[in-house]
């Protein structure tokens, strides 16, 4: 799940909103919704990325020597890609909070003493010693801007780094959205954390059918989900809302959310789905409960640690970064769901640079809120004709995405 379109600039100040407020000019409902979304996304949004890296890895077939460009977001997938030993990964993001988070996670792999220390720092809630570990092992190694960010204070006056001593996954826009969803469910007599007690897929299905599915018939919840702003915390901007609603017979986002939640709860064993743990328990599973994300698993630790210096993190847009690269210099592109947010002009500008910089055999992957790829009919035929859409693999791997957030997963391969 991306934090914003690479070219939308939501992480920057919004002079139009400031001007409108100072001059008391009324904003249209659509304009106000757009402005609100941009303001919300100017802070930390995703402490964890919500695209399944195992799906990404199978789609891209990363090999030693590959050069990758990806959107940063929470940084988890970039670290997973490192385990395949690519030659280079360029990470782009316009959100400075995500830039600081990506750099901190990389530093944890490079400078904490062991794999257990990395897991303790990034995956175990309520670990008060993490602040001390940061001061001793990480702060002296960070660049000045990143160190200043994590030493800075939040709205309550506490050091930002202190969140790793509590539970960083309950923070950020998405973390607050999940918390609000839990509160709403509890008001209707359902405790979502009880889902973590399921011991079989049969019990998972029963919990969904008996507890979760009926919530989407409640008038209050149907009213809330009819408001575009209610889904901002899921990373669904106003542009995506109507498209999502069009997917259901009732033209209701509630029906779409119900179907996505059903996939999350019923299509994968809980032990194997750390996305479900984050959604329902608001933490990662403990060793006796299930598996950690791939980048935190012991089998990948040495490779990630060894290759961490191959990553460069840029406070820039995807198109901007590619414009500075020579032709045929990139092998793999990871766009998350950013294109859902783009205008036709932005899409064509982006794919002009992708096509120019793509080496032989290059692969582009991305996700969409709806099921179909958004490129046909919007991308110029001159550009689109240079790429092959792998429809069969896209459908198969999309069904295997454990995060269950998206309607479609898409793979484009550069034609010879």
Q: Could you give the percent of the chain with pLDDT greater than 90?
A: 75
Model confidence pLDDT, tens digit, residues 353-400: 999 999 999 999 999 988 999 999 999 999 999 999 999 999 999 999
Tokens describing residue 101? 């988070």
Average pLDDT over residues 134-154: 97
Pairing of strands 358-368, 387-389: unpaired
pTM (two decimals): 0.89
Q: How confident is the model at residue 256 (pLDDT cuts 50, 70, 90)?
A: confident
Name the more confident of 62 and 12: 62
Contact 96, 315 (CB under 8 A): yes
Candidates 106, 104, 92, 112; CA nearest to 146 is: 104
Determine the average pLDDT of the residues in 92-118. Answer: 97
The torsion angles phi and psi of 122, rounded to 5 degrees, stand at -105, -15
> CB-based contacts of 317: which residues, under 8 Å, 6+ apart?
6, 7, 9, 92, 94
Q: So what's the pLDDT on residue 228?
A: 66
Contact 293, 119 (CB under 8 A): no
Tell me how long the chain is. 416
The residue among 343, 344, 327 whose CA lies nearest residue 384 is 344
Specify the range with the lowest mean pLDDT, choosing from 23-32, 90-99, 249-258: 23-32
| Count of other CB atoms within 10 angstroms of residue 332 | 25
Lookup result for tokens 């008038």: 219
DSSP 341: G
Region of 156 on the Ramachandran plot (φ > 0 left; ψ -120 to 50 alpha; else beta): alpha
**Tens digits of residue pLDDT in 59-89:** 999 999 999 999 999 999 999 999 999 999 9
pLDDT tens-digit readout, 270-322:
999 999 999 999 999 999 999 999 999 999 999 999 999 999 999 999 999 99
* For residue 406, pLDDT beyond 60: yes
| Dist CA 312 CA 317 (whole Å) | 14
Name the more confident of 141 and 44: 141
Q: Residue 240: pLDDT band by 50, 70, 90 thresholds? A: low
pLDDT value, residue 332: 98
pLDDT above 60: residue 2:
no
User: Rg of the Cα trace of the chain?
Assistant: 21
Looking at mean pLDDT, say which of 32-41, 97-106, 166-175, 226-235 comes out highest: 97-106
């Amino acid at each position: 799940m991306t934090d914003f379109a690479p070219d939308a600039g939501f992480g920057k100040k919004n002079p139009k909103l400031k001007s409108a407020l100072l001059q008391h000019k009324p904003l249209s409902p659509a304009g106000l919704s757009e402005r609100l979304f941009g303001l919300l996304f100017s802070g930390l949004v995703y402490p964890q990325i919500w695209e399944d890296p195992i799906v990404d890895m199978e789609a891209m077939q990363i090999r030693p020597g590959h050069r990758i460009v990806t959107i940063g977001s929470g940084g988890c997938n970039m670290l997973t890609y490192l385990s395949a030993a690519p030659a280079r990964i360029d990470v782009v993001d316009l959100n400075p909070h995500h830039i600081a988070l990506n750099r901190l996670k990389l530093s944890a792999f490079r400078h904490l003493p062991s794999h257990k220390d990395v897991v303790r720092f990034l995956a175990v809630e309520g670990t008060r010693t993490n602040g001390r570990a940061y001061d001793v092992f990480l702060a002296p190694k960070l660049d000045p801007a990143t160190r200043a960010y994590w030493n800075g204070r939040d709205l309550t006056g506490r050091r930002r780094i202190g969140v790793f001593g509590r539970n960083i996954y309950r923070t950020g826009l998405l973390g607050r959205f999940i918390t609000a969803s839990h509160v709403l469910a509890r008001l209707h007599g359902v405790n979502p954390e009880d889902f973590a007690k399921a011991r079989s897929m049969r019990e998972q299905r029963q919990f969904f059918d008996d507890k979760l599915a009926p919530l989407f018939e409640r008038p209050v919840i149907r009213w809330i989900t009819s408001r575009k702003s209610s889904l901002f915390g899921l990373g669904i901007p106003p542009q995506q809302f109507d498209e999502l609603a069009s997917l259901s017979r009732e033209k209701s986002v509630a029906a779409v959310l119900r179907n996505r939640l059903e996939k999350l709860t019923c299509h994968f064993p809980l032990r194997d789905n750390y996305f479900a743990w984050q959604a329902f328990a608001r933490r990662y599973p403990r060793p006796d409960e299930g598996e950690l994300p791939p980048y935190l698993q012991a089998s990948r630790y040495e490779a990630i640690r060894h290759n961490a210096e191959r990553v460069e993190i840029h406070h820039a847009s995807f198109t901007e970064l590619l414009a500075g690269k020579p032709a045929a210099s990139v092998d793999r592109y990871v766009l998350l769901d950013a294109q859902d947010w783009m205008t036709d002009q932005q899409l064509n500008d982006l794919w002009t640079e992708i096509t120019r910089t793509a080496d032989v055999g290059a692969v582009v992957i991305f996700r969409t809120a709806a099921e179909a790829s958004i490129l046909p009919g919007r991308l110029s035929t001159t550009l689109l004709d240079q790429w092959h859409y792998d429809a069969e693999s896209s459908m198969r791997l999309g069904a295997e995405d454990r995060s269950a957030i998206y309607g479609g997963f898409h793979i484009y391969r550069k034609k010879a």
